[in-house]
Structure 1
Amino acid sequence: MDVRIGIKQSARELAFETNDSAEELRALIEQTVAGDGTLLTLTDIKGRQFLIDTDSIAYIELGAEVGRKVGFVS
């Protein structure tokens, strides 16, 4: 699943791929934002963790499920 997170007052966005489904991500995001959580923690396919301050999130885009890549990948 492709994930893109826009950060307030930043021209760049955080983009990565994760193994979580859209439903799992949506539930985690809603639970964190609705609760007392100030940090949203997400993990990409390489095991890197991203800690994002929920107050600084402008938007979150959940893309299509990641399929198998074909061809030369470096």
Structure 2
Amino acid sequence: MEIRIGVVHTPKEINLEVEGSVEDVKQSIARALATDDGVLWLTDKQGREIGIPADRVAYVEVEPEGASKRVGFARS
């Protein structure tokens, strides 16, 4: 699945591809963001570990595997 994380005062978002179920990933994100002094740690498919201070996370967007991505000008 793909995860996009917005960081406060940063114009770019962090994009990661991670393995696991949507619910497991959402629960681990919620635990990390429960306190302001926590750190959100995620491991991508290549094994890289990314840590973001919880008080700097603006938003987290989770896109499950197989979600349709539309391209072009076709009607939805």
**Which aligned segments of 4 or more residues in structure 1 are displaced greater than 6 angstroms?**
none
Whether contact under 8 Å (1:2, 1:15) holds in the other structure is yes
- Structure 1 residues without counterparts, runs of 5 or longer: 68-74
Higher relative contact order, structure no. (Cα contacts within 8 Å, ≥ 6 residues apart): 1
Aligned length: 67
Partner of 1:16, secondary structure, is strand
Partner of 1:10, secondary structure, is coil
Aligned to 1:38: 38
User: What's the TM-score, normalizing by structure 1?
Assistant: 0.80
Question: Alpha carbon RMSD of aligned pairs, Å?
Answer: 1.8
| Distance change >3 Å, CA 36–CA 10, structure 1 → 2 | closer
